[in-house]
Amino acid sequence: MSTRSNILITGASSGLGAGMARLFAARGRNLALCARRTDKLDALKAELEQAHPGITVLVKPLDVNHYDQVFDVFRAFRTELGSLDRIIVNAGMGKGQPLGTGYFHANRQTAETNFVAALAQCEAAMEIFRAQNNGHLVVISSMSAVRGMRKNINTYAATKAGVASLAEGLRMEMIGKPITVSTLYPGYIRSEINEKVEKAPFMVDTETGCKALVRAIEKEPAKAYVPSWPWAPLGFAMKVLPLSLVKKMT
């Protein structure tokens, strides 16, 4: 397997995106980083270039809900770097309230950002990879995608199940071709998306979680639960247990 030298990460201004960027930079990879908050992106670029002067770090503003902009930014990164070897579809949000409680606007925003915008990112990535006849697409799903979830994460879980299905369909299509598709299912990793969650089982800090994500991504698996312990066995249990028991676990 050749080294994926040029890596694009969406939602890279903070949290898991920024954490993965730091770890890939330490491995000598060139980075194409995009997010809405350009001040944080610029600060991250300066930090990485100072720590790792041998790499190239490009940054561009991107709101993934501006779908045409997704294609423009991805294409521009490819032109500037010459190729994109790995694209990590990471941008997302965690707003949500129980269905029927008057917060359709929040649930819709989560659905559009986590699924429709992810579709745009996958489309833009695959356009590039098909032209190159090579590449590694990484879709960040969630452990909540394994089964339907309740209350505030109902819509979030549904969107993450949707992107996992999207990735699996692509993976099937790419069998025997030099384009790899990986789906990652993170458990509870502390980041901005869950900073207000006070109690969550098996929560790990951002650095620990990002190290596990990068280790998994580098192996280019079809899918991976991250961190593998305890989420791999828990994922199996969540798939087979009755909903009444899954409810008690979540």
Helix (H) or strand (E) holding 56: none
> Of residues 67, 103, 156, 188, which has the active-site annotation?
156
Strand locations in the chain (E): 6-10, 30-35, 57-61, 86-89, 135-140, 179-186, 223-226
Spatial separation of the C-alpha atoms in residues 194 and 179, rounded to whole Å: 32
Please confirm, yes or no, whether 185 is among the known catalytic residues: no
Beta bridge partners of 224: 184
The token pair at 3 is: 């080294």
Spatial separation of the C-alpha atoms in residues 122 and 199, rounded to whole Å: 33
Spatial separation of the C-alpha atoms in residues 157 and 147, rounded to whole Å: 8
Residues acting as catalytic residues: 156
